[in-house]
Each structure stands twice: as structure tokens, then as C-alpha cells.
């Protein structure tokens, strides 16, 4: 797998079925089509798992990528995430081809991140407009539902950037504004500016999972919660490490992301995997599903962003949406990951 709870964490989840990890029916709509959460204060209602396109065009060709998206949508998923910097825009192109051939644009919540593409770097007015126009062309659509601004490459005053997004929203090219790697102070400044009429930031992407917590600081969590921002954490599976298939250096050597996985082959990482394994064995779900369930147990998390290498992995992750971890299980995982 690629980069990429308690009931109170996701109150908008409709309890239509007893357990989402039940087999998907051969006929009729997937169980997942009944499970939706509100994405912050936006109008978007999404399945609480977002399919990321970081592997599309890099580790996966167009046919394999489309097969994965097909499986995700069949399982009830309705949100796709990419970035203009993923493989120089190749990921956006592949998703755009899928939207065009499947004719499902109106059924999909489409999100992309801009700011880091070498042709249009930064978040200045000219670069931002050009980046969005280029993304729309590659995605073969006239709008994106959520536009994430890459705070790691911010090179213009935030007011200037938000003024540009105001035009993008008013022109219909962008529906909702998101942020990636924004600091607490940037989010506070953005909310103050929104009181002057600029678009509000409704969604936040921050790298976050059970073994990667440093980026999601207490201050950032507090601001996101206070502002009602929906958090859609990327790196939900820590480059696939939390799927549980990498236990040794030999395992890592077999993966295209082996170097990144090696960073987690520590005593702490091994302990955490064992704790996830134990909970998975207890509940009868894969280790990766427990990692997803842990994220969904965090109150401000709306929908983790996950990337996969094969259609079969989609079903494993979808099971995590139906898992509700109890206090003992959460405590065991917390103790192991300290």
C-alpha cells in the first residue's frame, strides 16, 4: 500500500448497516454508499476515506490506476485526491481520463493540491491561477471541489493568496478551499481574513498517523477543532508501513517505497505494528484497517487520504471505516506507539 474509532469521532456516519466489513453484495449498491460524513462546513458529503493518487503514473500505469479507482467507487468511495506535483501532473491526467471515460464527474468529490508544480511554483496570484487552470485541463473538468493550498511553498502574503482564491471561487473553478501544511497561526490569520469576505479554509491536510504525530501539533489540533475544519490526514499508512507487510529490511527492499519504510523499522514501529495486529486479530480485520480506524477515532479527523498499489487493498482499507475501537484497544495502541 502507498502513503496513505469511537462513535463520537464521526457522528455523521449513518448506522444503516451493522458492520461495513461485511462482504460487499454482488448486486445492488455497496454498503459504503450509505456511509457519508460532512466535510467541515462545506457542502460536500463524503465517504470517510479518500483515495489518493500519489502512486498513479509513478508506481502504477493508467490501467492499474483506473482499476483501483473502479474498486474504490464500487466499494462506496466518492472522493479522489491528487496534486499537481504528483509525477509532474501525471496523476491528475490519469484521474482526468478516468472521469472522462466513466462519466461520473457529478458523483465524485474531486480534490487537488497546488503550489509545488515546477511550472507554476508558489501561491502568488499569477502562479496560483495558472496552476489551477493547468490542473483543470489535466483533470478534464471545469472545477475542483476542494483546492488545497500548499503551505510549504507559500511565497506570497496570505491575504493576496486568498484574494486570488476568491476570484477562483466566484468564477466557479473552485468550490471549497483546503490547506496543506498550514501552521496554526496561518489558519488563524485565514479565519480573520474570511471575516472580511475572503473564502474560508474548510479542510486541512496534515501528514498524520499512529506513528507520525509530530506534524499534527496540539496547537494545530486545537485551532482546527475550534474552527470546525475537517482534517483529511495524508500519509495515513505511513508509505504503506502500517499495512503490516514490511517487517524486515528484506521486506523493505522489495518495495518501491522501501527507503521510507525503513525509517519505521524501529522498536517503536515494530511494537506499534504488533499492537495493530493484535486488535486486527481480535476484530477479524486487516492491520491496515485498524490503522484507518485509529485515525477515524481522532475527533477532528473526517476522512484519511490513503494510497494503494492494487484493487485488493481497497477492500482492506474500507473495512477500517466500519471498525469502532474501544478504549482498551486505543490504550493498547497508544502505549505501543509511545
Full set of structural domains in the chain with CATH: 7-247+285-324 (3.20.20.100)
pLDDT tens readout for residues 262-316: 677 789 999 999 999 999 999 999 999 999 999 999 999 999 999 999 999 999 9
Q: What is the structure's pLDDT at 259?
A: 60
Q: For residue 69, what pLDDT is reported?
A: 98
Give the predicted TM-score (pTM) of the model.
0.89
pLDDT reading at 3 higher than 50: no
Local confidence band at 33 (pLDDT 50, 70, 90 cut-offs): confident
Regarding beta strands 37-38 and 45-46, do their DSSP bridges make them parallel or antiparallel, or are they unpaired?
antiparallel
- For residue 34, the model assigns a pLDDT of 84
User: What is the structure's pLDDT at 280?
Assistant: 97
28 has pLDDT over 80: no
* Dist. CA 129–CA 126, nearest whole Å: 5
70/315 Cα distance (integer angstroms): 12
Task: State the average pLDDT for the chain.
Answer: 89
Separation of alpha carbons 301 and 308, rounded Å: 20
Q: At what angle do helices 158-170 and 125-139 cross, to 10 degrees?
A: 40
- Sheet of 50-52, strand order: 230-231, 201-205, 174-180, 144-150, 109-114, 79-83, 50-52, 305-306
pLDDT tens, residue by residue, 77-86: 999 999 999 9
**CA max distance for the chain:** 56
Rounded to the nearest 10 degrees, what angle do helices 62-74 and 311-321 cross at? 30
Give the whole-number percent of the chain exceeding pLDDT 70: 86
**Spatial separation of the C-alpha atoms in residues 55 and 239, rounded to whole Å:** 10
Q: Is residue 143 scored above 50 in pLDDT?
A: yes
Rounded to an integer, the average pLDDT of 203-214 is: 96
Q: Are the C-beta atoms of residues 292 and 208 closer than 8 Å to each other?
A: no
Count how many residues are written for the chain: 338
pLDDT greater than 90 at residue 255: no
The C-alpha cell at 7 is: 462513535
Could you give the CA distance from residue 306 to residue 237 in angstroms, rounded to a whole number?
7
Residues 209 and 27: their CA atoms lie apart, in Å, by 35
Amino acid at each position: 500500500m502507498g502513503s496513505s474509532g469511537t462513535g463520537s469521532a464521526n457522528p455523521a456516519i449513518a448506522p444503516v448497516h451493522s458492520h461495513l466489513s461485511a462482504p460487499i453484495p454482488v448486486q445492488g449498491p455497496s454498503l459504503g454508499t450509505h456511509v457519508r460524513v460532512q466535510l467541515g462546513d462545506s457542502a460536500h458529503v463524503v465517504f470517510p476515506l479518500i483515495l489518493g493518487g500519489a502512486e498513479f503514473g509513478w508506481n502504477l500505469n493508467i490501467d492499474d490506476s483506473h482499476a483501483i479507482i473502479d474498486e474504490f467507487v464500487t466499494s462506496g468511495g466518492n472522493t479522489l485526491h491528487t496534486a499537481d506535483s504528483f509525477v509532474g501532473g501525471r496523476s491528475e491526467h490519469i484521474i482526468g481520463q478516468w472521469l472522462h471515460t466513466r462519466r461520473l464527474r457529478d458523483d465524485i468529490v474531486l480534490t487537488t493540491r497546488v503550489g509545488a508544480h515546477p511550472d507554476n511554483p508558489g501561491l502568488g496570484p499569477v502562479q496560483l491561477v495558472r496552476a489551477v487552470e493547468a490542473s483543470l485541463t489535466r483533470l478534464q473538468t471545469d472545477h475542483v471541489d476542494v483546492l488545497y493550498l500548499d503551505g510549504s511553498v507559500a511565497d506570497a502574503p496570505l491575504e493576496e493568496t486568498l484574494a486570488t482564491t476568491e476570484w477562483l471561487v466566484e468564477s466557479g473553478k473552485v468550490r471549497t478551499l483546503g490547506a496543506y501544511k498550514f501552521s496554526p497561526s496561518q489558519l488563524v490569520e485565514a479565519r480573520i481574513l474570511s471575516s472580511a469576505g475572503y473564502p474560508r479554509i474548510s479542510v486541512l491536510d496534515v501528514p498524520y498517523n499512529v506513528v507520525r504525530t509530530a506534524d499534527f501539533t496540539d496547537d494545530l489540533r486545537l485551532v482546527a477543532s475550534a474552527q470546525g475544519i475537517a482534517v483529511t490526514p495524508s500519509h495515513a499508512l505511513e508509505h504503506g508501513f502500517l499495512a503490516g507487510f514490511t517487517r524486515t529490511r528484506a521486506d523493505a527492499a522489495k518495495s518501491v517505497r522501501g527507503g521510507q519504510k525503513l525509517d519505521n523499522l524501529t522498536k517503536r514501529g515494530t511494537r506499534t505494528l504488533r499492537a495493530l495486529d493484535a486488535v486486527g486479530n481480535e476484530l477479524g480485520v486487516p492491520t491496515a484497517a485498524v490503522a484507518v480506524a485509529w485515525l477515524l477515532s481522532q475527533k477532528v479527523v473526517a476522512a484519511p487520504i490513503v494510497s494503494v498499489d492494487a484493487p485488493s487493498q481497497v477492500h482492506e482499507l474500507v473495512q477500517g471505516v466500519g471498525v469502532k475501537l474501544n478504549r482498551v484497544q486505543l490504550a493498547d495502541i497508544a502505549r505501543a506507539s509511545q
